[in-house]
Structure 1
Amino acid sequence: MSPPIQSPLRRQVAELLVVRASGHASDDQRRYPKWELSNAELKRLLAEGVGGVILLGGTSNEIRHRCKKLRQWAKAPLLLCADVEEGVGQRFEGGTWLVPPMALGRLYQEDQRRAANLAERYGRCTGHQARRCGLNWVLAPVCDVNNNPANPVINVRAWGEDTATVSSLACAFQQGLAAEGVLGCAKHFPGHGNTGMDSHLQLPVLDDNLRQLMELELVPFQAVMKAGIDSIMTAHLLMRNLDASSPATLSPAVLQDILRRQLKFEGLVVTDALVMRAITQSYNAGEAAVMAFAAGADLILMPENADDAIEALCEALQSGQIPMQRLHASQERRREALQKVGTSTAKLALKDSTSIDKPLERDEDRALARELVTASLKIHHPGPVTPTESGINLLRVDGVLPCSVLTATAPALVLPSEAGFQSLLYHPLGISPWQDDRDQPLALERLGIGPVMLQLFLRGNPFRGDQDRHEPWVATVKQLQQQKRLAGLVVYGSPYIWDELIEVLNIGIPAAYSPGQMPEAQRQVLTCLLQPAQVQSSAQTPLFQDFTD
């Protein structure tokens, strides 16, 4: 319930909250109603002064109208943001979906100048489309150094696996954002790249000391600070040698002593989402908000309960637990950030008014998306994959259909089908295709008798923990080769599973890797592997079946 009295202090505190909303207009369209506030709640909170909204889902046109409506409800300048680390199309249909940042990290090892140029164009594309959608704050770049291949949640989201690569590419991306007049956000401070746990599910613990952090994890953050990054997002990590009792998000030793005093960062500090289990398993909404703010955070992102967070912060300020100047300092940083992007919606709306009815994607955006896929594509053996009437196109995806990477018209389904392969899907929520035999793990009797085209969509994903690491794909490839049934192999996403599979792949088997999982990546990969083959008609063949059938 909302408080009966709207005090000036409550409105000042509310300004520092960023709440979650769906990009869709209707409450019924919310994909995550547990976190995405209803329209009634949003309208009330914005009217009471809540100063930021993070959005997810919907089309680019929907998000334009949504941002306009949110600003009308607020009647004050808002920070409107989204996690568009891989371009606006990653979250909003109609935008451009770009390859994951690590694709450029691998390219950087071969051609530093080209990779940096692409990263800057990547930032420009993302910033331009974000602004056209009504957003003024992009929650990127990821500045984590992914130096742990078993990292379950960063993985291809990182720009690379060493400090030089991440620093160079993150700075180039930030320059692109700034050129388009939107705010950037470096994350996840002080570095989430060396964790083996997902902070969405539990609290990772690291034993790095300050010297180790300064030599590795903090290097990219220092680089983007020099490049003018506007904000930094905290990580929900327990750094035992810095603060043995509180996660970095809630730690004055991390946010004040290191980030503010030693690194001299003067921009906005925003928490990672406080609804994540790394926080909620130990703290309620009020406790987490007060501890984060006292530790040095300016903005409170996605508290478990917005009203509880506001009330607890008001009490802490009124009692003197948190000095009132902390509130004023955070408000001033927020005002400066809004002024940097033109402060209000009116200026941004005027800037894009002539193109409001035009498609979000420009020709140059589509060309960039294609170039990024081509530049990061690895063809181990070009094929062709032999066409067949009895072949099986076995796909491993992260969730049930429909999913963003595998719609019914996705090239990963359609192109093999045209070559005679019938598609079968395996996803972790379905019935497992595995047997107990470690040497022969796949239940081949469920696949029929034909050759198998194996397509794996695997990458680090929030909320999955280390589940993917237990899937025996190396043994599966060996098994299919022993049976002389492996017609081809494609890995989309994680370079680490690709590296493992290439080690056991027989010479001559068509195989390819793409960091990207989007339809453009599928099209380019499968064109390379299948195009030389004579396409067969499959009009009478169902497009796909599911292991859950």
Structure 2
Amino acid sequence: MTGQLRDRLGFQGLIVTDALLMGGITQCGSPGEVCVRALAAGADMLLMPVDLPGAIAAIVAAVQSGQLPEARIQSALARVKAAKAKVARQPEAALTAADLATFDDPSSNATVAAILQASQRQHGRLPLSLPTLQPPRLNLVAVGNRFNCPGLDIAAPALAVPRRHGFETHLCEQAQLDCWQPPASQVLLQIFMRGDPFRGSASLSPAAQDLFKRLLTEGQLLAIAPMVVLI
């Protein structure tokens, strides 16, 4: 964040972490270590650490030992104070048309697209070369609850686009995946799960995880599109 976001891109605003109690980060170290590493990487605010007293103690110890420079803490504190002061100065400021235009700035949109393109992790090359795919083609859509999945109707792109390209759709709840046996097909896997950051993961069952891993290791998985909605 310091080398790229601050130095290369010139961003001088506030950097806030995502929730530090989610499973993707808690596996990387102890709660205190995760917080120290986030600050060292350039974050200014730590969101929802697993153990707040432990995080504070770890940060103090890191500063006292020299692992984390005190200047790093002071720079983060200065940005937090500046952000709070900016809000306090404009408690009732209304958005203008010029303000709204900044949310759809073409150069910003191009930057976002470039970041997404450069940072995506791929198994193979995207977009898929559809003419080379051999039938049968299966669009496996895994959902937490078939009756509570807003936006996933028959016209939804997740269903309509694969259907136009000859994919047969299988819409399965996680409980069904526990006993679902995939046919000998090339599979596009889409996961629509409702997640809870306090739970630490999207709560895929072990059987569902084993199924997805098997599709990957057996070469049946064409692509995966996870969509986890936090509640």
Could you say which TM-score interval applies, normalised by the shorter chain?
0.5 to 0.7
Q: Deviations over 1:410-443 (max 9, x none)?
A: 4321111112334232344xx42322xxxxxx24
Partner of 1:235: 49
Gaps of 5+ in 1: 1-165, 198-204, 238-248, 270-331, 436-441, 481-500, 519-549
Q: What does 1:447-486 align with in structure 2 at a 5 Å threshold?
A: 451=185, 453-457=187-191, 462=197, 463=199, 465=201, 467-468=203-204, 470-475=206-211, 478=214
TM-score normalised by the chain length of structure 2: 0.59
Q: 2:165 is matched with which residue?
A: 419
Match of 2:149 among 374, 388, 401: 401
- The separation in 2 between residues aligned to 1:333 and 1:417, in whole angstroms, is 49
Are the structure 2 counterparts of residues 411 and 192 from structure 1 closer, same or farther at C-alpha, using a change threshold of 3 Å?
A: closer
Q: Which runs of 5+ in 2 are unaligned?
A: none
Sort the Cα spacing of 1:367 and 1:256 in 2 relative to 1 into closer, same or farther, 3 A. Answer: closer
Distance 1:170 1:176 in 2: 6
1:288-310 CA-to-partner distances (Å, cap 9, x unmatched) read: xxxxxxxxxxxxxxxxxxxxxxx
TM-score, length basis structure 1: 0.30
User: Is 2:194 aligned against 1:505?
Assistant: no
Q: What's the secondary structure of 2:149's corresponding residue?
A: coil
Structure having the larger proportion of residues in strand: 2
Q: Could you report, residue by residue, the CA deviation over 1:169-223 in whole angstroms, capped at 9, with x for unpaired residues?
A: 5656995362xxxx332466799866359xxxxxxx9498xxxx4xx86244124
Amino acid at match of 1:224: G
Partner of residue 15, structure 2: 184
> Are the aligned partners of 2:163 and 2:169 in contact in 1 as well (CA < 8 Å)?
yes
Contact 1:387–1:419 under 8 Å retained in 2: no
1:24 corresponds to: none
Indicate the residue corresponding to 2:61 in structure 1: 258
Find the aligned partners of 2:4 and 2:96 in 1 and give their Cα distance: 32
- SS of residue paired to 1:254: helix
* Structure 1 contact 192–235 (Cα < 8 Å) conserved: no
1:396 deviates by 1.9
Cα deviation, residue 402, structure 1: 1.0
Provide the rounded CA distance (Å) in 1 between the counterparts of 2:57 and 2:84. 26
User: Taking structure 1 as reference, are residues 176 and 517 closer, same or farther at Cα in structure 2, changes over 3 Å only?
Assistant: farther
| 1:224 equivalent in alignment to 2:42 | yes
2:109 aligns with: 366
Residue 344 of structure 1: aligned partner: 89
Cα distance in 1 for residues equivalent to 2:21 and 2:178: 39
Inter-partner Cα distance in structure 1 for 2:49 and 2:207: 28
SS at match of 2:42: helix
Kindly indicate whether the alpha-carbon contact (under 8 Å) linking 1:170 and 1:220 is maintained by their aligned counterparts in 2. no
Q: Kindly state the Cα deviation for residue 470 of structure 1 after the two structures are TM-superposed.
A: 0.8
The alpha-carbon distance between structure 1 residues 411 and 367, as it changes in their structure 2 partners (threshold 3 A), is: farther
SS at match of 1:401: coil
Q: Which of these two proteins has the greater Rg computed from alpha carbons?
A: 1
Contact 1:383 1:511 in 2 (8 A): no
- Give CA deviations for 1:144-177 in whole Å, capped at 9, x if unaligned: xxxxxxxxxxxxxxxxxxxxxx664565699536
Q: Counterparts of 2:9 and 2:92 in 1: how far apart (Å)? A: 22
Q: Give yes or no for contact 1:188–1:233 (8 Å, CA) kept in 2.
A: yes
Kept in 2: contact 1:167–1:223 (CA 8 A): yes
Aligned pairs for 1:36-75 within 5 A? none
Corresponding residue for residue 51 of structure 1: none
Cα–Cα, structure 1 residues 360 and 366, in superposed 2: closer, same or farther, change >3 Å? same
Q: Higher relative CO (CA 8 A, sep ≥ 6), structure 1 or 2?
A: 2
Tell me the SS of whatever aligns to 2:103. Answer: coil
Name the CA shift for 1:235/1:267 in 2 (closer, same or farther; >3 Å).
farther
